[in-house]
Amino acid sequence: MISLHEFKTGLAVIVMTASITLDACTKKKDCCAVADMHMDFDTRYKNGTSVFDTSASGHLTQDSIQIYYLTEGKYNLVQHTGYDASEGFLLLKEAGLPPQYTIRLILSDHTDSNNFSYTLMRYGSLKTDTIQAVIQNHVKQKIWLNSKQITVTGKPYINTLK
């Protein structure tokens, strides 16, 4: 059991730490910016079945997906060890029958002089998509999928494979 004095001392330390942290954030312009560098895709075959649905013949696995970022004029395979999305994407599975799968693509943060970033998403040997994005302050502004501008709505974009 802690004494009242110890409790008050601990509370004072917490309050002082919080106020110093908040003060530091208000003095720096970019301190508390939110990064929005991803795009969600619901990728399906033409018949509407998810390409990851294990009950479908010819389904893809997470290992089938490869992400490449354009850096200094060359596309490089994404391999970030130690990150949750170490290969440039996350495969999210929602419960249900059949389950729904979403690819959360992490967009490249390498931009050219016009703030454009370029990312390739390869679905095994089936298809390769080119994603171009306007990035400003680590926030996506506009997205193009295979040269067609798409609307970012907060819901996964439905992408169809052959």
pLDDT per residue over 121-138, tens digit each? 999 888 899 999 998 887
* Spatial strand order in the sheet of 89-94: 89-94, 100-106, 38-44, 157-160
- Residue 17 has a pLDDT of 44
Question: What's the pLDDT at 84?
Answer: 76
Per-residue pLDDT for 145 more than 90?
yes
Residue 26 CA to residue 9 CA, distance in Å, equals 26
* Residue 34 confidence (pLDDT): 60
**How much is the pLDDT for 15?**
45
Among 112, 92, 113, 110, CA closest to 101: 92
**For residue 123, which of 138, 101, 150 has the smallest C-alpha distance?**
101
Q: Does the pLDDT at position 96 exceed 70?
A: yes
Q: How does strand 89-94 pair with strand 148-150? A: unpaired
Place of tokens 């060359």: 74
pTM, to two decimals: 0.73
Q: What is the pLDDT of residues 53-84, one digit of tens each?
A: 888 778 888 899 999 999 989 999 998 766 77
More confident residue, 4 or 113: 113
| Average pLDDT for 92-99 | 80
The strand ranges marked E within 22-156 are: 38-44, 65-71, 74-77, 89-94, 100-106, 116-123, 127-136, 139-145, 148-150
Check pLDDT > 90 for residue 120: yes
The average confidence (pLDDT) of the chain is 79
The average pLDDT across 147-160 equals 85
pLDDT of residue 58: 80
